[in-house]
Amino acid sequence: MLLECAETAHADEFDREPIRYSTAPTNNVITRLQERLKAGAVSLKFDDDHGYLRSVLQALQVPVSSQVLVFSKTSLQRERIGPKTPRALYFNDDVYVGFCLHGTVLEISAVDPNLGTVFYTLDQEPVARPKFTRQNDACLQCHGSTQTRGVPGHLVRSVYADRSGQAILSMGSFRVDQTTAFAQRWGGWYVTGTHGGQKHLGNFVVHGQREPEEIDNRVGQNIIELRTHLTIANYLTPHSDLVALMVLEHQAEMHNLIARANLQTRLALYEEAELNRELGRAADYRSETTLRRIKNAGEPLVRYLLFSKETPLTAKVRGTSSFADEFARRGPRDAHGRSLRDFDLEKRLFKYPCSYLIYSNAFDALPEAVKTYVYGRMHDVLGGRDYSHEFDHLGTEDRRVIREILQVTKPELARAMGE
């Protein structure tokens, strides 16, 4: 619903114990905002141009500078989306908000520590007490598939879009995260920023019948303003910031992998507990099968967390909004002023390649069994015990500095690593 539409969902696995995705109580930023609205502790203001958008962003502490614009018809309100009327996305570490011009609803997905991603809509009609409505089946048709790692999650894709915004699927598409080649990113998206000689698919509309190898997007590169593409005054800012797009791609997949590690581990432990009771084994018995399932859930998280296989930059990247500065200021920092939110933007996205989402509530809520596995693997990698090809992008200095930052800013991890 929010980022992209994919294949049919297979979420039944998570509607049984111990997850109960569709019926379990939610615990996320929208849950808490709804409680505040009900108690009268906060109110949402409606305006004729954007409905509740500004007020919702403010209440959720989502920066306006995070705005990115997507014009492919890959959303719940697809009939309202096109190159002249792109959908705007806004995000912070915990929530994503989607807005369509003259749309009937705001689309929201919230990171829920117990359930993965939970989807909501908010009617764009002025009422005394606005209410967020949880959406399950409609959203999970796209956001509970193999494309989202088999869990309720997010999907960012790059497509070839025609003049109406329709994705031309016969030309192919790309699932995008931090490992995706620069040249395959942002088809169907607007992109503002400079990136040297690196090529991408943003700002490009397909006219007529084409083959992918015939695409020439030279005019779509290093664009710093969008006034010739759309009526930019219709949006909160004139930007679809390049750096914001890269952060969005990183964290959407990171959220999926955290959710997968959580839900798969809980399923494995629940099923083993049931089997232990049936077989009369000790309650804390761990089979090789269960340990393998925990490893299979935790290892991809470790690799992505430490930016394994991240596509390197070959030229400096610079956005057009204040997003990068605002994002980096949020810390936390060690005594030397270093933060996992500091950008590099010349050779890679971040200066210290370890995801800032290690501080998130969703990461902290991981079951101890998989968190112990993740911490142990991080100890191996950052301590120099694992120099395998999955982590050969991390030099000795990278490992030392990341470890030093985490010692101060993530004490739980420092203790687990014996530091």
Domain ranges of the chain: 12-240, 243-416
Q: What is the pLDDT of residue 125?
A: 96
3-state DSSP assignment of residue 369:
helix
Res 8: pLDDT: 36
Q: What is the DSSP letter of 101?
A: T
Query: Is 171:210 a contact under the CB 8 Å cutoff?
Result: yes
- H-run or E-run covering 32: helix 29-39
Q: Which amino acid is at 372?
A: T
Task: Please give the single-letter amino acid code of residue 86.
Answer: P
The answer to whether the beta carbons of residues 306 and 354 sit under 8 Å apart is yes
Looking up tokens 């911490």 gives 375
Q: Name 31's bridge partners.
A: none
pTM comes to: 0.93
Interhelix angle 368-382/288-305, rounded to 10 degrees, is 50
Single-letter residue type at 27: N
Residues 6+ apart with CB under 8 A from 48: none
* Residues recorded for the chain: 419
Give the Cα separation of 279 and 277 in Å (integer).
Answer: 6
Give the Cα-Cα-Cα angle 79, 82, 84 (nearest 5 degrees): 130
Beta strands in 254-365 (DSSP E): 318-319
Write down the residue that tokens 């619903």 correspond to.
1
CA distance 299 to 126: 47
CB contact at 8 A, 67 and 237: yes
Q: Give the pLDDT confidence score for residue 151 in this predicted structure.
A: 80
Q: What is the pLDDT along the chain (419 residues), one digit of tens a residue?
A: 344 433 334 456 788 899 999 999 999 999 999 999 999 999 999 999 999 999 999 999 999 999 999 999 987 888 999 999 999 999 999 999 999 999 999 999 999 999 999 999 999 999 999 999 999 765 555 555 565 557 878 899 999 999 999 999 889 999 999 999 999 999 999 999 999 999 999 999 998 766 776 778 999 999 999 999 999 999 999 999 999 999 999 999 999 999 999 999 999 999 999 999 999 999 999 999 999 999 999 999 999 999 999 999 999 999 999 999 999 999 899 999 999 999 999 999 999 999 999 999 999 999 999 999 999 999 999 999 999 999 999 999 999 999 999 999 999 888 887 76
- Taking CA atoms, 379 is separated from 238, 254, 355, 385, in Å, by 43, 20, 15, 8
CB 6 within 8 A of CB 148: yes
Burial class for 141, CB neighbours closer than 10 Å (0-12, 13-18, 19+): middle
- Give the span between the Cα atoms of 366 and 33, in whole angstroms: 23
Closest residue by Cα to residue 394 from 342, 335, 341, 352 = 352
- Tokens 């939110």, residue located: 341
